[in-house]
């Protein structure tokens, strides 16, 4: 994937998103990743679909410890076992035949690529990153030609954390979060500007 620097600002914001339970309802249907994994017993470099899985598919949801552990694996069977365990750990219903978390993740990834691509793939964009981690916002204030004298297009995504709360008490304590994205290049590549109070 290369340059992860543009998203340095997102790390604490997306942790906040996760802490508030935003994006926690993972119930949509989708296809799997689409990569063909080949298993061989001999040591092999991290390449092909195994590299794409790490750098693209799960780039925004894998923990730093998981990333390091996966990168240290030497064979494709080990990597395939890790990938299966990765999804199993996130499965909200391990006894079921489907993994709703995995399905929803790949649905979000496909949506981001279809709707937020511009000068780069949608999953790499600021809006794609937030969408993949937090899901669909509750509302969007879109200003395609700028507003209030601004020449730059922008969007503000609103997430109501109370919608994901498990109880009325949790809903009362939940805080909403907003993300502002600005198209500074006038090319459709909206970058995260800042969270709003």
Number of folded domains that form the chain: 1
Closest to 154 in 3D by CA, of 111, 191, 126, 117: 191
Structural tokens at position 57:
């598919």
Got the DSSP string for the chain?
Answer: ----GGGTTHHHHHHHHHHTTTT-----------------SS---S-HHHHHIIIIISTTTS-HHHHHHHHH--SHHHHHHHHHHHHHHH-S-TTSSS-HHHHHHHHHHHHHHHHS-SSS-GGGSHHHHHHHHH-S-SEEEEETT-STT--SEEEEEEE-GGGG-SSHHHHHH---EEEEEEETTSSS--EEEEEE-
End-to-end CA distance of the chain: 31
Residue 195: predicted pLDDT:
59
Closest to 179 in 3D by CA, of 160, 163, 156, 161: 156
Closest to 179 in 3D by CA, of 25, 10, 18, 21: 10
Q: Are 178 and 171 in contact (CB under 8 A)?
A: no
How far apart are alpha carbons 175 and 173 in whole angstroms? 7
Distances in Å between the Cα of 117 and the Cα atoms of 120, 146, 156, 178 are 6, 20, 18, 21
Each residue's pLDDT, cut to its tens digit, for the chain (197 residues) gives: 443 333 444 455 555 455 444 444 332 223 345 566 666 666 788 899 999 999 999 999 999 999 999 999 999 999 999 999 999 999 999 998 999 999 999 999 999 999 999 989 999 999 999 999 999 999 999 988 755 555 788 999 999 876 655 556 655 666 788 999 999 888 888 999 865 44
User: What is the span of the domain harbouring residue 39?
Assistant: 5-196
Residue 38: predicted pLDDT:
60
How far apart are alpha carbons 171 and 21 in whole angstroms? 10
């Amino acid at each position: 994937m290369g340059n992860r620097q543009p998203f340095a600002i997102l790390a604490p914001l997306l942790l906040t998103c996760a802490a508030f339970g935003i994006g926690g309802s993972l119930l949509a249907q989708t296809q799997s990743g689409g990569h063909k994994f080949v298993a061989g017993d001999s040591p092999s470099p991290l390449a092909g679909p195994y590299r794409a899985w790490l750098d693209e598919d799960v780039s925004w949801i894998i923990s730093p410890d998981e990333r390091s552990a996966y990168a240290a694996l030497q064979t494709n069977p080990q990597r395939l076992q890790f990938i299966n365990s990765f999804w199993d750990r996130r499965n909200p219903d391990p006894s079921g035949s489907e993994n709703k978390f995995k399905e929803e993740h790949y649905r979000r990834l496909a949506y981001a690529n279809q709707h937020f691509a511009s000068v780069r793939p949608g999953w790499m964009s600021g809006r794609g990153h937030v969408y993949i981690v937090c899901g669909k916002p509750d509302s969007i204030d879109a200003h395609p030609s700028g507003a209030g004298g601004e020449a730059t297009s922008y969007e503000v995504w609103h997430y109501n954390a109370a919608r994901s709360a498990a109880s009325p008490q949790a809903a009362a304590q939940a805080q909403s979060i907003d993300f502002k994205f600005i198209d500074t290049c006038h090319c459709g590549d909206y970058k995260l500007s800042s969270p709003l109070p």
